[in-house]
Structure 1
């Protein structure tokens, strides 16, 4: 990776930065480590602070349709308060802990189309400039993988994954967005639901598993959404029959389908600080649990990935889907870096 220009406001010859993450994927709630490599410019500068931001590409629903933008979901200072001489090269090692709700970007080594990044910000001479942006790869926690594997073994298929701006009421959600993993129903439940959306809200003790079913409507009735929530522990991985668990969850979801009779209106909350969707002042939808709940959008960002015949071991059809995902990721990072350089 080449050094990228930074601190454009200081003119040609300013410091440059290159952040290199340790190789491999990381876990939600796990440690992320690497090095921030600095190279001095044509003059001496005082590096007041080095900050790493975790950013995600997120979808938001509004009255005029869907929009995509970048949300900063964590910021950590990893160094600073030193003089960087002209032409000097210096490396600053760092380690940071990811939020437990950090989205999963891959499953069984296949990209899901979720775009996360680590962005480096330098504070120099009273100004802040966002420079280097590196992709972040996150694999599922064991209990997340166990749940998804059980869905696959039960005949459900993987359709897509995306990030939605908003909060799910009645949960312990911490981040300003949540991840949806959209599944096609197994033959047993295809008569009752069109699709299942699974959201994991992890925490140190375990996680909440939120299931939303888009119900099939009858001849004279409109289809509706149904939401249920379950709690599992990280220690449950080897101690539960997950296939039986999934069957029980789905039975409960279907049994309660007549209890949810109306679509809820959108609630509004202040946008999460640090996120930007082009212009300020956007609100994000809030999902309601019980008999009020908001809509969920369909797949976005070219995230559709074909399911393997064995379940949720994600496959690719003719290489086309993988190419689309790579293009989306590349466009995101290239565009964001250009934005940072303008500052």
Structure 2
């Protein structure tokens, strides 16, 4: 999702695949924290909120590419965000996580536990932190998303033209996206393509929950075994579609959920592995390969595992030998 605003002017939000499928009223309630629901519904009823220049009902479901126009309004949460020392510290931490940078884009190794943007009760995230420590930057926008608890490669566009081109590259499935995941139990197959449709539900608090459902969207993930341990299996997951929580739900569908997954995982297994030092979701976007938005040259980005995950893997290897 991209967002643009002029001081004292209207605000525009462009919807990406991550927010596609949500009702406009639920999206605005989540996005405009601190604004009374009654005012949000009044804005919708009076047509002050437009989608693709047209009036819409509160039950309208957003689609990727939709452009929302919000009328001029004061958002106190946004003002607080700009003065937040916590977001300033987040931004400084991110400056130490840079994997690659040029005039068109920036790639970071996003830490686990850090949201990509504010909303859903969160004051701020990656994009707000970077904007705060780079006040001179005229344009910084997320190209894609990672879940809050997932670490790894994340792209930020530094120019509007680069953002458009990168969105086109992602839409055309010209990005090779690979993740490392530690699955619960010993998975015996060397490789498997999971091809089952996923359906996204938005809970009352704005949280997303995804289920395998024939009525959902086509979703494909290729899993490849890298190493087997006594009670776990390290796999590489290659995303062939980009649905919300796709790898997590597909791993659970295989009967081997990702360790540390508190939403789709095995509660008892997670408790055992916390005792072994795993206190986060073991899912890491380790590699992105795609055409560069400026000249089409092949760009390959790799993000190392953080110390916690590396230490755990080393301990598992020693225990096995």
TM-score (ref. length: structure 2): 0.26
Task: Flag the structure with more relative contact order, 1 or 2, with Cα contacts below 8 A and sequence separation at least 6.
Answer: 1
Of the two, which has the highest radius of gyration?
A: 1
Indicate the structure with greater strand content. 1
TM-score (ref. length: structure 1): 0.25
Indicate the structure with greater helix content. 2
